[in-house]
Amino acid sequence: MRAVWQAARFAVRRRKLQTSLITLVLLVSTGTVVLALGLLATVDGPYDKAFARQRGAHLMVSYDPAKATAAQVAASASRPGVTAAGGPYRSQVMDVPEETDAARPGLLPPGPLAVTERTGRAGDPVDRLALRSGRWATGPGEIVLGTFARFPFDPVGKKVSFADGRTFTVVGIGRSITRSSQAWVAPGQLTAPDGLQMLYRLADPAAPAGTVTAGLPATASQSYLVSRQQATEAGTTIIPFLIAFGVAGLIVAVLIIGNVVSGAVVSGFRHIGVLKSIGFTPAQVTGVYLVMIAIPGVLGSLVGIAAGNVLAGTVTTTLGDSFDLPTASGVSPSVDVLAFTGVLAVVVVTALVPAVRAGRIPTAIAVSAGAATRRGRALRVQRALGRTRLPRPVSLGLGLPFARPGRTALTVTAVAFGVAAVTFAYGLNRSVSAYLADAELTETVQVIVPLEGGRQVSLDGRPGTAKVAVTRFKQVHVPGFDRPVQFKAYQGTVTDRHGYRMVHGRWLRGPGEAVVGDPFLKTGGKKIGDTVVVTADGRKASLRIVGTALVDGGDTVLTDWASLTSLADREKPAPPKASSGPHTGMVTSLAEVTLTPGTSVKEYVAALRADGIPADAAAEGIESGQVILLGLLTLLTLGLTTVAGLGVFNTVVLNTHDRARDFGVLKSLGATPGQVLTLVLASMAVLGLVGGLIGLPLGLAAHHVVLPAMAGTGGLTLPYGLMETFPWPLMLVSVLAGVAIALLGALIPAGRASRIRTAAVLHSE
């Protein structure tokens, strides 16, 4: 064994280039695997542990106190399937008014706030509240806020005022693992409760709410799966994408390692013969090659694990900033062990076949073979190419891959996966951009103009204006949501979709209807055709969901002007009747302006401001989740294409070593360094072209499989148009990317081949 170790160490030092290639390849591959597996293990783990520790509620139900007594509601705790229950707790939707003094902004954003009477006792059988700072409310005028909002300062000790004139002092910040409420007060503090909240733990967590609420006036119910999905969807959305890159990285690593070891065997025939001549058995020769690969394999895997841990920790911490639960401190050690042993096993299995082949080579053949050029099919192809009108260096280069068909196949496949990564990444980027453009109306709305306080403006007919849509927003409360929901209505023709792309169902046709996003249905436990009850300013409105559209965020309801007006504050003037004429003198919230093609947004906004009209560009910054996705997309694509380029690099190095004598002969016959360079690059360009033609459909297939999987984990359904983002010019660019990868990978060793000195390679002839 000692002899095997010493021989392997010598081979590692002698083959520094191949050792470095394997180390880099496994670094990228292992890092990607750890990142994918680490996120998969840590995204759900913190929530599930916290849910069990806090005795989270599997089912949260609100009952109408006008139709059922507290005793009747409490009796539901003894129904079959209920293992524990909490409540009934009195709840009320209270309105936070708009702040009139702009210099003194309110602690909470204006809109409805769901408040529940709770004591915060640690021994509650269901939904034990966690106190993050301060203390629990114990008397009149005290309130504990949930972590649904991010405060730029410590809110403890600050005042919160409500529309009914009551003011509470914030005494603490709490958290409910099931997001049962947005704020809590001591029992007896709510003057006009509009709900009785019951929290249940069930023997079957997936049991429908009807098994518990049958015969009782339930106004809303929500499964814990909704809060779990809300807390973990940001991380789980990118997991299909990471798994795709992890699998591709491993496949490319296998191809390159197989290529490296096979090349080492072919180019090391004489070395194998020397080992056998001094007494090495076939098993020991095989062991030398396996250890030679295992040394850089272990090193690359360890560094990759460290890099993957850093990336996974960064991603989970960043995503965890928006979670209402503790985040994981790092990747589980079991993930690191699994990734290390798994990747190393792949490396050993990949290297085993050529290593066994090395051990079986007879000593006499190994000693005498050297690096002699093989004849046969390659020579016939070379002669056929020589009869064409191609320049001689090009024809020689095109025939070079046929000398080593196995090596050529591995290289083409590595390039194909690099092209597939580029194609997939570019398609994903275009699809995400198209989704955001539709959801945020970036191609429909370029400028926004606030119209508060009855401000009168005239925008129709102004140079550069294509369309003006007057809209109004209002914060409302919807049962099942732990944050205010945005109510949005357009003035004018209700059938105008204003740029929204429909996904399911249909658009609005009249009053009492609503269009929402798919995440809204999942959060609220609704489906198309169901009725959703919204509350604001003490008023309620029932809307029937008629369709889903691509809407920015999962907490927006699109409805008609009349439905929103019915919820408007009584003291505010009602808006005038809808008109199809110019939008002047209307009491509205916002004007969304669509510009004519070629109009500069910056110049249009500047012109409005010069006329005293406040206006802003509608484009917003990229959210942190999008930054993470696009950053990982770029990083992993560069990593995979770099690895593919390293595979080409290794192939050219091996070919140069095999063909050093041929290059020397060519130069002795008058070939210039430029002609030798052209020969090598031509041989790789054709491999890049073939790899591009293979990689393009692979990338398209990955895009059409991974993107819907990512959307599904986020509760989205993508329309057909968002998947078809590959016009033929882009497909051509993707194919040419294979040529680019091959040429860039071949450039350095090709340059070395062109500088080969004739005397040095022909000294033994």
Note the pLDDT of residue 150: 58
More confident residue, 127 or 326: 127
Residue 9 tokens read as 């160490």
Note the pLDDT of residue 580: 32
Q: Give the model confidence (pLDDT) of 641-671 as tens digits.
A: 777 777 777 677 767 766 666 667 777 777 7
* Residue pair 448/463 in contact by the 8 Å Cβ criterion: no
Average pLDDT, the chain: 76
Alpha carbons 658 and 257: distance in angstroms, whole number? 18
Q: Enter the pTM of the model.
A: 0.60
Overall average pLDDT of the 445-472 stretch: 78
> What percent of the chain has a predicted confidence (pLDDT) above 90?
4
Overall average pLDDT of the 96-124 stretch: 71
Q: Is 81 helix (H, G, I), strand (E, B) or coil?
A: coil
- CA distances for 19 relative to 9, 223, 287, 433, angstroms: 11, 54, 16, 40
More confident residue, 751 or 322: 751
Worst-scoring range by mean pLDDT, 401-410, 674-683, 714-723? Answer: 714-723
Residue 320 tokens read as 């965890």
Note the pLDDT of residue 504: 85
Q: Give the model confidence (pLDDT) of 49-75 as tens digits.
A: 778 878 888 888 889 888 889 999 899
Whether 684 shows a pLDDT value over 70: the answer reads: yes
Q: Give the model confidence (pLDDT) of 415-424 as tens digits.
A: 887 788 788 8
Note the pLDDT of residue 322: 43
Q: How far, rounded to the nearest angstrom, does the alpha carbon of residue 560 sit from its chain's CA centroid? A: 34
Residues contacting 620, CB < 8 A, separation 6+: 440
Whether 313 shows a pLDDT value over 80: the answer reads: no
- Give me the CATH code for the 447-617 domain, please: 2.40.40.20
* Residue pair 515/74 in contact by the 8 Å Cβ criterion: no
Q: How confident is the model at residue 576 (pLDDT cuts 50, 70, 90)?
A: very low
- CA distances for 692 relative to 268, 426, 644, 650, angstroms: 31, 15, 12, 19
More confident residue, 537 or 31: 31
Worst-scoring range by mean pLDDT, 99-103, 361-365, 577-581? Answer: 577-581
Overall average pLDDT of the 165-169 stretch: 88
Note the pLDDT of residue 418: 78
Q: How confident is the model at residue 121 (pLDDT cuts 50, 70, 90)?
A: confident
Query: Half-sphere exposure (CA, 13 Å, Cβ side) for 677?
Result: 11
Overall average pLDDT of the 542-566 stretch: 83
Please calculate the CA angle 570-191-474 and round it to the nearest 5 degrees.
35
Among 409, 373, 274, smallest CA distance to 660 is for: 373
Place of tokens 């670094």: 27
More confident residue, 233 or 697: 697
Q: Give the model confidence (pLDDT) of 374-414 as tens digits.
A: 555 566 776 777 777 777 777 777 777 777 777 778 778 87
Alpha carbons 737 and 745: distance in angstroms, whole number? 12
- State the pairing for strand pair 159-161/59-63: unpaired
More confident residue, 750 or 366: 750
Q: How confident is the model at residue 90 (pLDDT cuts 50, 70, 90)?
A: very high
Whether 482 shows a pLDDT value over 80: the answer reads: no
Q: How confident is the model at residue 545 (pLDDT cuts 50, 70, 90)?
A: very high
Whether 570 shows a pLDDT value over 50: the answer reads: no
- CA distances for 518 relative to 54, 433, 504, 550, 557, angstroms: 29, 18, 9, 8, 11
Whether 156 shows a pLDDT value over 50: the answer reads: yes
Q: How confident is the model at residue 744 (pLDDT cuts 50, 70, 90)?
A: confident
Whether 162 shows a pLDDT value over 70: the answer reads: yes
Element (H, E) at 260: helix 239-267
More confident residue, 246 or 448: 448
Overall average pLDDT of the 688-705 stretch: 85
Alpha carbons 87 and 77: distance in angstroms, whole number? 9
Residue 383 tokens read as 């002669």
Tell me whether residue 311 is exposed, middle or buried, using C-beta atoms within 10 angstroms of its C-beta: 0 to 12, 13 to 18, 19 or more: buried
Worst-scoring range by mean pLDDT, 78-82, 256-260, 674-678? Answer: 256-260
* Residue pair 411/647 in contact by the 8 Å Cβ criterion: yes
> What percent of the chain has a predicted confidence (pLDDT) above 70?
75
Q: How confident is the model at residue 333 (pLDDT cuts 50, 70, 90)?
A: confident
- Write out the DSSP string of 488-502: EEESS-TT--TTPPE
Domain spans, the chain: 1-58+225-372, 59-204, 374-440+623-765, 447-617
More confident residue, 140 or 367: 140
Note the pLDDT of residue 325: 46
Whether 238 shows a pLDDT value over 70: the answer reads: no
- CA distances for 323 relative to 40, 149, 244, 327, angstroms: 16, 11, 26, 8
Q: Give the model confidence (pLDDT) of 14-43 as tens digits.
A: 777 777 777 887 787 787 777 777 766 665
Overall average pLDDT of the 747-754 stretch: 76
Note the pLDDT of residue 550: 81
Worst-scoring range by mean pLDDT, 79-88, 275-284, 363-372, 709-718? Answer: 363-372
Worst-scoring range by mean pLDDT, 142-156, 229-243, 742-756? Answer: 229-243
Which amino acid makes up residue 89? Y
Worst-scoring range by mean pLDDT, 76-80, 341-345, 525-529, 727-731? Answer: 727-731
